[in-house]
C-alpha cells in the first residue's frame, strides 16, 4: 500500500509540474500586440511607441505604421496591415535603433524576423544579439524593389536577452527601416499558479497522512 500511494503521489506531482517545453510567440504588430490598422505615415503616427508583454518582450525605437504602400516587398513578406519602423525625418523621439529585449528567465533560444529597407536607395544594416553576434546585411535594395527585405535569424547562441537593429550609415544617410513577423522560441519551464501550488501541497499532506495510517495498522 505504501509503494502504491507514493506512486500515485508522484504521478500527481508530475501532472502539476510538467517538464519544460518550447513555446513560440510571433510579434506581428496586428495580433501581438493587438492593434487595428495604424496610420500609414510617420507624421500621423507621432512620437516613439514602446510595446511590451510583461515577462515576454519589449520593443522600443520606432512606431507602428499600417497599410504602407511605399514598401514594395511588404505585401509578400510582411503581415498586413502593420509593421514597426523608425525614420530620421519623423518625430525627433524616434531612434536610429530598434531594440527588442527579453527577460533571461524566459529562456529565449531563437529569434527570427523580417527587416525592410525604407530608404529610397540601397542601404546597409547591422543586427546584434546580446550586444555581440553581429549580422550584416549589405546593400539591401531600395523601398521600391520587391527585394527590399531580408530575413534574419539568431539561434544556437544560448539564451537571447536582446536584439538591436540599426544602420551603420545612419550618421551619414539618416535612417528609415522596419521590422515585422518577429518570432521567438522559449524553452522556459512552466510555473504553477499560487492556487495550484496550494492545492498540490494539500494533496501531498493528505496522501502522506493516509500512508501513515495504513502503516500503523
Q: Within this chain, do residues 129 and 171 fall inside the same structural domain, yes or no?
A: yes
CATH at residue 134: 2.60.120
Q: Are residues 134 and 197 in the same domain?
A: no
Q: Do residue 201 and residue 129 come from a single domain?
A: no
Please tell me whether residues 177 and 102 are part of one structural domain: yes
Residues in the chain where the model's pLDDT stays below 70: 1-21, 188-217
User: How many domains does the chain contain in total?
Assistant: 2
If asked whether residues 13 and 27 sit together in one domain, one would say no
What's the confidence (pLDDT) of residue 12? 52
Residue 187: its pLDDT value, please?
Answer: 84
Q: pLDDT, tens digit, for every residue of 115-126?
A: 999 999 999 999
Q: State what percent of residues in the chain have pLDDT above 70.
A: 76
Residues 177, 201: one domain?
no
> pLDDT tens, 33-68?
999 999 999 999 999 999 999 999 999 999 999 999
What local confidence, expressed as pLDDT, does residue 145 receive?
98
Does 215 share its domain with 168? Answer: no
Domain that holds residue 52: 21-186
Q: Cα–Cα distances in Å, from 125 out to 22, 25, 41, 133?
A: 30, 25, 22, 14
Q: What is the pLDDT at residue 167?
A: 98
Answer yes or no: do 127 and 203 share one domain. Answer: no
pLDDT at residue 91 in the model: 98
Do 123 and 203 share a domain, yes or no? no
pLDDT value at residue 152: 98
Residues 12 and 25 in one domain: no
Residues 200 and 93 in one domain: no
Are residues 151 and 55 part of one domain? yes
Amino acid at each position: 500500500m505504501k509503494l502504491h500511494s507514493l506512486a500515485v503521489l508522484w504521478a500527481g506531482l508530475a501532472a502539476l509540474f510538467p517538464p519544460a517545453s518550447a513555446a513560440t510567440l510571433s510579434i506581428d504588430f496586428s495580433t501581438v500586440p493587438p492593434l487595428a490598422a495604424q496610420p500609414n505615415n510617420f507624421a500621423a503616427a507621432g512620437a516613439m511607441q514602446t510595446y511590451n508583454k510583461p515577462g515576454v518582450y519589449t520593443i522600443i525605437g520606432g512606431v507602428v505604421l499600417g497599410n504602407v504602400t511605399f514598401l514594395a516587398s511588404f505585401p509578400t513578406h510582411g503581415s498586413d496591415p502593420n509593421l514597426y519602423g523608425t525614420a530620421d525625418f519623423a518625430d525627433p523621439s524616434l531612434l536610429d535603433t530598434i531594440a527588442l529585449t527579453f527577460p533571461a528567465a524566459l529562456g529565449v533560444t531563437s529569434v527570427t524576423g523580417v527587416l525592410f529597407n525604407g530608404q529610397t536607395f540601397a542601404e546597409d544594416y547591422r543586427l546584434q544579439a546580446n550586444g555581440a553576434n553581429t549580422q550584416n546585411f549589405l546593400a539591401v535594395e531600395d523601398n521600391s524593389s520587391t527585394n527590399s527585405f531580408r530575413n534574419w535569424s539568431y539561434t544556437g547562441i544560448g539564451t537571447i536577452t536582446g536584439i538591436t537593429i540599426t544602420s551603420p550609415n545612419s550618421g551619414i544617410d539618416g535612417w528609415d527601416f522596419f521590422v515585422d513577423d518577429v518570432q521567438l522560441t522559449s524553452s522556459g519551464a512552466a510555473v504553477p499558479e499560487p492556487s495550484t501550488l496550494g492545492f498540490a501541497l494539500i494533496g501531498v499532506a493528505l496522501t502522506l497522512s493516509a500512508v501513515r495510517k495504513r502503516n500503523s495498522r
